[in-house]
């Protein structure tokens, strides 16, 4: 009887556990899978494709719910071979779909040379260096399609090129763009750093520096886009304004400095905006951390302005507390 009871119990436990599905699997490239795409093809939602150091000459298409995890920016590099986008995220991807800790370069496509997040996308792109990509139309670095809620955070978007949105193009989305360095991108028509069309994204705590466009918005161009823009540095953008808009936006607590045609066009600056040198630590060598003496360490809203905190110069005197990146984010929330 004891054996019969034990067997019945095991059967009942199996019935309870089975519906939960298989456990998530981490698939390693190149130790287990020779290519990133073969590892993705073998994956199911919830799995992680862990990619080791090296350069991978691939054009990758991610599955919904799969995490693509590199070994770090500049350590794991996906090279798109200038034949199409380096990474494609299919439409309808959920927030469980993630691209983390790698570099994306040498992609070329009509929309999204580096990364194309297709319509209805909720994916997350975090700690990704997107550089040296080209779009023949929109979004040299990253393109986000219609009705998306993509999160782009702690990324470097550098040296990309497109007609519209050299660094980033957001199309009718409600995305979150925060703590990014968006620098040295080029748009042939408008939006050197960022271009949005009919968009309502939140663009907060970014540093948008050194981009160029002959159109109105060398740093950012917002076309019919009621975006929320705050605590962002618009600096050293050439050929146009730091920020250009043709419809009302929610804008405050930003810093504008040394932009080609001036800080802003399309509406009056907010009373909390400032027009002061952000005092980067070493801009010629691409270090855009702030000097402790920077007016952006604690701007008019008593919050950090820009993507990076202070890292050089004389520190505050004893008794003055310098807030960390995480603490600043917590204060704003």
Q: Name the least confident of 5-9, 238-242, 245-249, 313-317.
A: 5-9
The predicted pLDDT at position 216 comes to 84
Measured distance CA(225)–CA(241) in Å, rounded: 17
- Mean pLDDT score of the chain, rounded to an integer? 91
Residue keyed to tokens 């042939």: 188
The predicted pLDDT at position 119 comes to 98
Q: What is the CATH number of the domain that holds 89?
A: 2.160.20.10
Domain membership of residue 85 (yes or no) is yes
| pLDDT above 90 (res 311) | yes
Q: Each residue of 213-264: pLDDT tens digit?
A: 997 899 999 999 999 999 999 999 999 999 999 999 999 999 999 999 999 9
The predicted pLDDT at position 22 comes to 66
Q: Secondary structure of the chain in the HEC alphabet?
A: CHHHHHHHHHHHHHHHHHHHCCCCCEEEECCCCCCHHHHHHCCCCCCEEEECCEEEECCEECCCCCEEECCCCCCEEEECCCCCCCEEECCCCCCCCEEEEEEEECCEEEECCCEEECCCCCCEEEEEEEECCEEEEECCCEEECCCCCCEEECCEEECCEEEECCCEEEECCCCEEECCEEECCEEEEECCCEEEECCCCEEECCEEECCECCCCEEEEEEECCCCEEECCEEECCECCEEEEECCCCEEECCEEECCCCEEEECCCCCCCCECCCCCEEEHHHCEEEEECCCCCCCCCCCCCCCCCCEEECCCCCCCCCCCCHHHHHHHHC
Nearest of 126, 188, 136 to residue 157 by alpha carbon: 126
Hey, what's the torsion of the CAs at 229, 233, 235, 240, to 10 degrees? 0
More confident residue, 319 or 150: 150
Q: What is the mean pLDDT of residues 187-208?
A: 97
pTM (two decimals): 0.89
Number of domains in the chain: 1
Measured distance CA(159)–CA(278) in Å, rounded: 21
Domain membership of residue 17 (yes or no) is no
The predicted pLDDT at position 21 comes to 52
Domain membership of residue 265 (yes or no) is yes
How far apart are the two ends of the chain, measured CA to CA in Å? 61
The predicted pLDDT at position 271 comes to 96
Q: Each residue of 124-171: pLDDT tens digit?
A: 999 999 999 999 999 999 999 999 999 999 999 999 999 999 999 999
The predicted pLDDT at position 328 comes to 42
Domain membership of residue 328 (yes or no) is yes
The predicted pLDDT at position 215 comes to 76
The predicted pLDDT at position 143 comes to 98
Domain membership of residue 2 (yes or no) is no
Q: Each residue of 21-44: pLDDT tens digit?
A: 568 999 999 999 999 999 999 999
| pLDDT above 60 (res 315) | yes
| pLDDT above 50 (res 331) | no
Range of the domain at 295: 22-332
| pLDDT above 50 (res 329) | no
Domain membership of residue 6 (yes or no) is no
Domain membership of residue 80 (yes or no) is yes
Q: Each residue of 255-305: pLDDT tens digit?
A: 999 999 999 999 999 999 999 999 999 999 999 999 999 999 997 788 999
Measured distance CA(173)–CA(156) in Å, rounded: 21
**How many other C-beta atoms lie within 10 A of the C-beta of residue 106?**
20
The predicted pLDDT at position 299 comes to 78
The predicted pLDDT at position 177 comes to 98
Domain membership of residue 220 (yes or no) is yes
For residue 101, what pLDDT band results from cuts at 50, 70 and 90?
very high
């Amino acid at each position: 009887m004891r054996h019969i009871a034990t067997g019945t119990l095991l059967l009942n436990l199996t019935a309870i556990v089975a519906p939960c599905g298989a456990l998530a699997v981490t698939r390693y490239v190149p130790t287990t899978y020779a290519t990133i795409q073969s590892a993705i093809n073998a994956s199911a939602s919830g799995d992680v494709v862990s990619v080791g150091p090296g350069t991978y000459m691939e054009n990758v298409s991610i599955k919904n719910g799969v995490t693509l995890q590199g070994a770090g920016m500049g350590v794991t590099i996906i090279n798109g071979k200038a034949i199409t986008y380096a990474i494609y995220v299919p439409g309808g991807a959920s927030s469980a779909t993630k691209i983390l800790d790698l570099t994306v370069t040498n992609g070329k496509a009509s929309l999204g040379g580096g990364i194309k997040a297709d319509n209805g996308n909720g994916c997350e792109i975090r700690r990704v260096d997107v550089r040296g990509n080209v779009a023949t139309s929109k979004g040299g670095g990253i393109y986000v399609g219609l009705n998306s809620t993509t999160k782009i955070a702690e990324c470097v978007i550098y040296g990309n090129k497109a007609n519209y949105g050299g660094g980033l193009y957001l199309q009718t989305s409600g995305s979150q763009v925060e703590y990014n360095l968006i620098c040295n991108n080029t748009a042939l028509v408008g939006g050197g750093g960022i271009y949005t069309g009919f968009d309502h994204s939140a663009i907060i705590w970014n540093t948008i520096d050194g981009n160029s466009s002959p159109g109105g918005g060398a740093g950012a161009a917002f076309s019919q886009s009621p975006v929320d823009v705050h605590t962002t540095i618009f600096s050293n953008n050439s050929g146009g304004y730091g920020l250009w808009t043709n419809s009302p936006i929610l804008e405050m607590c930003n810093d504008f400095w040394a932009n080609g045609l001036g800080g802003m066009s399309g509406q009056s600056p907010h009373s909390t905006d400032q027009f002061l040198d952000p005092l980067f630590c070493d801009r010629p060598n691409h270090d855009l951390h702030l000097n402790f003496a920077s007016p952006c360490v604690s701007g008019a809203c008593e919050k950090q302005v820009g993507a990076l905190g202070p890292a050089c110069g004389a520190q505050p005197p004893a008794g003055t507390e310098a807030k960390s990146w995480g603490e600043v984010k917590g204060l704003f929330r």
